[in-house]
Homo-oligomer: A and B are copies of this chain.
């Protein structure tokens, strides 16, 4: 089992992301070695699950001892593609867009927002941090000039699909969508949807059941 021959199931990738966070915490605390059961406790899962997940990357554990925190941290960063800088464009400088822009952990993880697009004439030309907000007509130029790898969509639902079509045409292969629409795009472009409402509504379902 290694990272070149097999592709890792999505559910596992998401957990790897969590494990990496825990490992960094352990590293900060000076812990050098960690067992699957410790990661499991932290992550609200089981030791078997952790070992199965990590087995997708190869054999980095030592029987009787656990995993080297430093080594595993490095492996995870590599597998998740966090050992380089990704250039990110933000579409939409409204409430959500601004909050995302100012979210520190993105930058720490190597996601650099180098481009911000908005179609509000009042905003275009003004700055968000040190970045100048550019208008929608500049989209293709900006994606190309800034060599954007990944786009975050934080515009109102009705305009999202149109913009994303242009983004895909410009060759971008990854989209993180905060707009409350189901975007349609080619199979070779990776898409993740984040819906605040879906999460809240599934809680609402749980609450409603609880009452009965």
Residue positions of A touching B, CB distance < 8 A: 4, 7-8, 10, 13-14, 16-18, 20-21, 42-44, 79-82, 86, 95-96, 98-100, 102-103, 105-106, 109-111, 149-150, 173-176, 180, 182, 184, 188, 190, 192, 194-210, 212
Contact = CB atoms under 8 A, between A and B. Distances in A.
Report the copy number of this chain in the oligomer: 2
Given A18-B182, A44-B182, A174-B206, A109 B201 contact: yes
Contact of A176 (B106, B175, B200): B200
A162 B22 CA distance: 18
Name the prevailing secondary structure of the A interface residues. Answer: helix
A80 B43 contact: no
A82 B207 contact: no
